[in-house]
Amino acid sequence: MTARRHAGVMPGLARAAGKRARAAAALMAALATLTLLTAPITAPAQTRPLGVATWNLAWLMSLETHARWAAACARHGWPTDPATLAPGARRELEGLPYCSVHNGMRFPPQACAGDDEGWPQRARYRPGHPCRDTADLADPTAYRDKLDQLRRWFARLADEGVSVVALQEVFDDAAVLPLLPPGWSVRTSRGLPGSPDIAQQLGVAWAPGLAPGGFRAEPALADSGPGLRPLRPGFAFTLPVDGRPVEFLVVHLKAGCRSRVIDDPLRPDDPPERRDAIASDCAMLRRQLPALEDWIDARAGRDFVVLGDFNRSLFLEPVKDRPDRPVRLDGSSPASPSGPCDLALVEGRLQARCPARTSALFPELNDDDPPGSVLWRARPAELSGGRIRPGGPADCNLRGGQPPRRGAGDLAHDGIDHVLLSDALKRRLSPQALALRMLGHLDEAGRPFAASPARALPSDHCPHWVVLD
């Protein structure tokens, strides 16, 4: 009897509660409708700003690859020129970093005088060598120090709001993944069609919630010609920015022609022993230029970003061709084809044979031919004559090691890491998207990094980034 009573009373209470809930819901719906009708019309909400960085990680390997590299190099006497080895030894070292990298020694070598231990002809030197700046990273303990420092740097980037990092000088995915903040992902060019089997690959790391895709290598940038070691490819991917797809191209162009006249690079004061290398480096960069311009021109009028280590001081170059500062050495217009180019070995140095002769890289890319191919350089807040002010907020400032010191910032490269935005993308972003930021390196105590022969150099580049908003 009692049970049935409870059974009879409870449905009545539920019906009453249901009526009250339906009345409250109706009132809330009416209030919401009134709010929508009386609220001012506003633009659709923007997605969160996207922090995009570029960073060269300086011959990054996983611990497993590092052990294989160190063992192979040691087995063959740490050679400086693999071409002098037997075929079997060359095959064992093929695809690994050069045996002379990560030695912690002064660079360029002529910055330290002397011939102690055959300086600078060997790959490795003792810990107390007078030309040593940082620790020899062939030692696994020192190499772990490098990785630990990079891991802290990645965490600081994430704290700054960076959620995408374009990568250079990484061996493969396994080299990068242990350094990333929790939940981050990575994809490198290793194994992609057209990507050569070389130690310096490119890639991208990204934070949770993002979904880049369309990963592909751009092999035209790697093509150095018959019989020559391949250069680094481009690495392309697509990622939405503010709800619309944007194409990204990560580059790491040929080093050694940072501020030279590309097609006439030699200067009277160049030392004789360096002239062939300087001319050859600029010739290889010249060969890459048409491939990069073709990629940009094919996307005229579209949203894209080109970023990475250009190995070129673009801030010192003119924005475009001008009557008082012509770009072409032969008087032609940058709008006319700059390539294709072939490389020829002439008296010990490479020469680029192209349909035009040019002095600079950026104005060749930024010729607005076809229409819609204009580029915008992200720039740091402080530039003086196109140069980054020493000690300023854009100065990477990895200070040199033991005396004679090379000066603040000399262990780092400045002014060659760039982010270029297409005109179409720039037009739909805020002006702050062209502000290039830099994150300097700090030690465990939060002090600016200062090199010592006992300390690993994490990288000779600082990360640079923009906020696409």
Could you state, in chain order, the average pLDDT of each consecutive group of 10 residues for the chain (469 residues)?
A: 37 41 45 39 55 99 99 98 95 97 92 92 96 96 98 98 99 99 99 98 99 98 92 98 97 98 98 96 98 98 99 97 94 96 95 98 97 97 87 83 49 95 98 96 88 94 97
| Spatial CA neighbour of 57 closest among 390, 308, 393 | 308
Question: Measured between alpha carbons, how far is 368 from 458 in angstroms, rounded to an integer?
Answer: 39
Flag whether 410 is in a domain: yes
Cβ 290 vs Cβ 337: under 8 Å: yes
37 within some domain: no
Residue 76 lies in a domain: no
Is 30 contained in some domain? no
Per-residue tokens: 135: 């620790």
CA distance 370 to 249: 19
Distances (CA, A) of 351 to 116, 288, 361: 36, 13, 17
Q: Please give the structure tokens belonging to residue 68.
A: 């294989």
Structure tokens at 106: 């002064």
Phi and psi at residue 435, to the nearest 5°: -90, 115
Q: CA angle, 45 as apex, 42 and 51 as ends, to 5°?
A: 140
CA-wise closest residue to 287 among 195, 358, 221: 221
Q: Is there a contact between 306 and 251 (Cβ–Cβ < 8 Å)?
A: yes
Task: Give the pLDDT score at 17.
Answer: 41
Cβ count near 202 (within 10 Å): 30
Select from 178, 250, 175, 179 the least CA-distant residue to 212: 250
Task: Establish if 9 belongs to a structural domain.
Answer: no
Question: CA 168, CA 189: separation in Å to the nearest integer?
Answer: 10
The answer to whether residue 146 sits within a structural domain is yes
Give CA–CA dist 125/132, Å, rounded: 8
**CATH code for the domain of 189:** 3.60.10.10
Question: Is this model's pTM higher than 0.95 or not?
Answer: no
Count of structural domains within the chain: 1
For residue 91, give the amino acid letter: R
Check residue 227 and give its pLDDT.
85
Residue 173 tokens read as 């995915």
Does some domain include residue 449? yes
* Calpha distance 402→449 (Å, rounded): 14
CB 183 within 8 A of CB 154: no
18 domain-assigned: no
Range of the domain at 151: 50-61+97-102+137-468
Structure tokens at 175: 């080299």
The neighbour count for residue 203, using CB atoms within 10 Å, is 27
Give the N- to C-terminal CA distance of the chain in Å, as an integer.
70
Q: What is the pLDDT of residue 460?
A: 96
